[in-house]
Amino acid sequence: MYRLPPEWAPQAAVLLTWPHTASDWQDLPSTQRCFAALAAALLQRAHLLVLCNDAQVQADAKQAITDALEQHQAAHSPVAYQVLWVQIPNNDCWARDHGPITVFDAAHQPLWLDFQFTGWGHKYPSDLDDAIVAQLSQSPFAVPRLAVPVVLEGGAIDTDGAGSLLVSARCVLHENRNNGLQRTDFEKIFETYFGCTQVLWLDHGYLQGDDTDAHIDTLARFTPRRGIVYVACDDPNDAHYAELQAMQQQLRLMSDQHGQPYQLHALPWPPAIFSSSGQRLPASYANFLILNGAVFVPVYGVSTDSAALAVIQNAFPDYDVQAIDCRALIEQFGSLHCVTMQLPADVIKGI
């Protein structure tokens, strides 16, 4: 049996896959500036492993991060961490879903689980992304790899580190991923590969504009103090209202492995944000990254940003909560957590 550590466990590095011209980004310069600012902030807390499509993308990424670090260090102390580079062809930048999921065996040896990635149910090309973990395991940053013949994305799961796993049934059980697998099948998979013996299924909740079929990291997230931060909608006229009210009711009935209820932290509902073509974008404050004593929170330049940061600070009282402007990321229907994948301590050796 393996163990999936919670995100607040010590981390060695964060994986970023750099956006490039062959991917789907319409405003690539804005996206790359967002990535560079995020990279500069993350380097205050951990190493970065930056995966690039080719040598030119790597050169561009190096320059962008260098420029961002110069700006960032004007207001912060010099970074103590390194940027590590690897070139692997890729379709797009969503490292949360095509990156390795790291677990540990009984001897605390790391293993990279390589689940199948199909572009969120064959919505987008994913052949290159599905091969990333296999190639990464052969790189200088090699970790033993285990291929798992099941479609599952990293954004679809969240653990409290105490045996419970939070997942969205709408996503994990969707017929476009593993047609035929039932809840009991996945509960066995989660116990075998993650060491989780309680699966908390959310049957409600979604965001318009989200391509993932309701990844849990857009809706509800565990905290270290038996808490859950979740997306809440208080506007009865909003299309999300009924679903998110039903999700909130489910969360209120959930308890941990000891029968203790979770402390719930409701995030403010942001005003609707639309693309230039009029499509509503999935602006979720739940898509934050927990990293070595900090919580990096996506903000969108709207009136509820400050309130969202306050809720997350209350949920993580001992953490440094930092805002990252992710308006550019939701243009492609994802956000901060979606473009990052943590690599736990003891995974990358020699740094």
The helix (run of H) or strand (run of E) holding residue 245 is helix 241-252
Domain assignment present for residue 351? The answer is no
Strand partners, 261: 255
Residue type at position 56: Q
Q: Which residues contact 326 (CB under 8 A, 6 or more apart)?
A: 34, 287, 298, 299, 300, 335, 336
Domain assignment present for residue 4? The answer is no
Domain assignment present for residue 350? The answer is no
Which domain does 315 fall in, by range?
11-344
Domain assignment present for residue 3? The answer is no
Q: Which residues contact 261 (CB under 8 A, 6 or more apart)?
A: 252, 254, 255
3-state secondary structure of 85: strand
Where does the pLDDT of residue 75 fall: very low under 50, low under 70, confident under 90, or very high at 90 and above?
A: low
CA distances for 325 relative to 35, 127, 233, 297, angstroms:
10, 30, 22, 8
Q: Which residues contact 245 (CB under 8 A, 6 or more apart)?
A: 233
Tens of pLDDT, residues 275-300: 989 999 999 999 999 999 999 999 99
| Residue 90 pLDDT greater than 80, yes or no | yes
Domain assignment present for residue 159? The answer is yes
Interatomic CA distance for residues 344 and 14, integer angstroms: 9
Residue type at position 112: W
Interatomic CA distance for residues 233 and 245, integer angstroms: 7
Per-residue model confidence (pLDDT) at position 50: 98
Mean pLDDT (the chain) is 95
pTM of this prediction? 0.97
Per-residue model confidence (pLDDT) at position 343: 97
Lowest-pLDDT choice from 19-28, 112-121, 150-159, 280-289: 19-28
Per-residue model confidence (pLDDT) at position 73: 72
Per-residue model confidence (pLDDT) at position 350: 57
Interatomic CA distance for residues 152 and 170, integer angstroms: 13
Q: CATH number for the domain including 260? A: 3.75.10.10
Domain assignment present for residue 6? The answer is no
The helix (run of H) or strand (run of E) holding residue 289 is strand 289-291
The DSSP 8-state label assigned to residue 274 in this structure reads B
First to last CA, the chain: 28
Per-residue model confidence (pLDDT) at position 280: 97
**CB distance 255 to 302 below 8 Å:** no
Helices 55-72/28-42 angle, 10° precision: 60
CA distances for 23 relative to 13, 90, 199, angstroms:
24, 8, 35
Tens of pLDDT, residues 331-343: 999 999 999 999 9
Q: How many domains, the chain?
A: 1
